[in-house]
């Protein structure tokens, strides 16, 4: 006769040990997955850094070479620092004039964009009125509208206003071109600002205008700096709009000038002057981003975390 052996029932202590072991195993799997994705992320960032930095570095080095060195030994250091390439690009290729024109146009465009964009975003974010969402979505819809589709009607609109071939006309177009992104970003940022501060300002007798300029605008400084840098980079590198609206060569901006230099370089064999002009166009944006890097990151993370 066979006796049936009963299996022992695990006690509470054994159950806790099994649960703890399972939890540790799960934690190890999660940590290994995190380490894997972290390494893949570092590899992707390294690849992206190489893709971005190598062409910029190569352009900078080529600006000090002559044409023979550029084509015979493109990956070597220049034999000497030929600053005359920069001088030739600045004077003979008129990069100096184009550079000043770009600075004036971008300064006016960014100032107008930030002033009007911040005011519109503040009202849309902090005040409730009929049509609020409709106006906001009209601004946001501008992000999905390709610029080149509006070049022909934009040309005739600016011409009818008497602003064709003027820097003022280009500044106004830059402002309209940059407003959708500015309103979209700043409206989300203004919503994160504390309402109690605005209420305290109104109780102290602040008007809506004074409350905006003296209280809310300084609080939104991180977001304003971030958007301003993006607008500077976008307007500085704009080519299609100046090409259509500035036919006069004396009023060209830097992108138009470099495009002409790149065409003439093939005929004149002045590739060193071309790379010197490109370096002059790239360096200001790199310097601006390097100076305001922390403010840009702080503005983006502040808007996300709040």
In a domain, 20, yes or no: no
In a domain, 83, yes or no: no
The H-or-E segment that residue 188 falls in is helix 167-191
Q: Read out DSSP for 2-50?
A: PPPPPPPPP-HHHHHHHHHHHHHHHHHHHHHHHHHHHHHHHHHHHHHHH
What does the pLDDT average to over 138-144? 89
In a domain, 91, yes or no: no
pLDDT band at 1 (very low <50, low <70, confident <90, very high): very low
Q: How far is CA 26 from the centre of its chain?
A: 40
In a domain, 67, yes or no: no
Cβ neighbours for 285, distance < 8 A, ≥ 6 positions apart: 232, 233, 236, 237
How many Cβ atoms are within 10 Å of 32's Cβ, its own excluded? 10
In a domain, 124, yes or no: yes
pLDDT band at 10 (very low <50, low <70, confident <90, very high): low
In a domain, 229, yes or no: yes
CB burial readout 12-27, b (16+ within 10 A) else e: eeeeeeeeeeeeeeee
What does the pLDDT average to over 286-300? 75
Q: Which of 29-38, 87-96, 157-166 has the highest mean pLDDT?
A: 157-166
CA–CA separation, 304 and 29 (whole Å): 29
| Token pair recorded at residue 272 | 């060193």
pLDDT band at 118 (very low <50, low <70, confident <90, very high): very high
Q: Check which CATH number belongs to the domain holding 248 and give it.
A: 1.10.3720.10
Asked whether the predicted pLDDT for residue 303 surpasses 60, the reply is: no
Q: Sign of the C-alpha dihedral, residues 49, 51, 55, 56? A: negative
pLDDT band at 304 (very low <50, low <70, confident <90, very high): very low
Give the residue numbers spanning the domain of 128.
99-305
CA–CA separation, 160 and 15 (whole Å): 83
- Structurally, the chain folds into a number of domains equal to 1
CA–CA separation, 59 and 80 (whole Å): 15
In a domain, 62, yes or no: no
pLDDT band at 271 (very low <50, low <70, confident <90, very high): confident
* Cα separation values, 153 from 116, 138, 140, 150, 171, Å: 23, 19, 21, 6, 17
What does the pLDDT average to over 94-123? 94
Q: Sign of the C-alpha dihedral, residues 143, 145, 146, 151? A: negative
Residue 42 dihedral angles phi and psi, to the nearest 5°? -65, -40
Q: Could you give the percent of the chain with pLDDT greater than 90?
A: 35
In a domain, 13, yes or no: no
204-258 confidence digits (pLDDT tens): 888 888 888 888 898 888 889 889 999 999 999 999 999 999 998 889 999 999 8
Residue 207 dihedral angles phi and psi, to the nearest 5°? -75, 170
Asked whether the predicted pLDDT for residue 9 surpasses 60, the reply is: no
Residue 99 dihedral angles phi and psi, to the nearest 5°? -65, -45
pTM above 0.75, yes or no: yes
Q: How far is CA 214 from the centre of its chain?
A: 27
55-72 confidence digits (pLDDT tens): 889 999 999 998 888 888
What does the pLDDT average to over 14-22? 58
């Amino acid at each position: 006769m066979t006796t049936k052996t009963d299996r022992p029932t695990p006690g509470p202590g054994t159950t806790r040990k099994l649960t703890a072991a399972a939890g540790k195993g799960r934690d190890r799997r999660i940590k290994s997955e995190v380490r894997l994705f972290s390494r893949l992320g570092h590899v992707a960032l390294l690849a992206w850094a190489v893709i971005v930095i190598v062409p910029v570095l190569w352009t900078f080095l080529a600006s000090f070479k002559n044409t023979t060195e550029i084509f015979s030994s493109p990956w070597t250091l220049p034999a000497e620092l030929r600053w005359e390439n920069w001088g030739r690009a600045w004077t003979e290729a008129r990069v100096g004039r184009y550079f000043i024109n770009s600075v004036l146009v971008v300064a006016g465009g960014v100032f107008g964009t930030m002033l009007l964009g911040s005011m519109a975003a503040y009202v849309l974010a902090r005040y409730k009125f009929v049509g609020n969402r409709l106006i906001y979505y009209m601004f946001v819809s501008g992000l999905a509208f390709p610029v080149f589709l509006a070049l022909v009607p934009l040309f005739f609109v600016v011409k009818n206003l008497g602003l064709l071939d003027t820097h003022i006309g280009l500044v106004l177009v830059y402002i309209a071109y940059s407003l959708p992104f500015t309103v979209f970003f700043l409206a989300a940022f203004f919503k994160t600002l504390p309402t109690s501060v605005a209420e305290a300002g109104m109780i102290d007798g602040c008007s809506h205008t004074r409350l905006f300029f003296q209280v809310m605008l300084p609080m939104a400084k991180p977001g304003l700096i971030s958007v301003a840098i993006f607008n500077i980079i976008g307007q500085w590198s704009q080519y299609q709009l100046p090409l259509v609206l500035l036919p006069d060569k004396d009023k060209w901006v830097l992108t138009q000038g470099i495009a002409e230099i790149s065409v003439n370089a093939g005929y004149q064999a002045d590739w060193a002057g071309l790379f010197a002009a490109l370096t002059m166009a790239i360096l200001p944006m790199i310097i601006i981003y390097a100076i305001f890097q922390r403010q840009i990151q702080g503005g983006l993370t502040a808007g996300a975390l709040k």
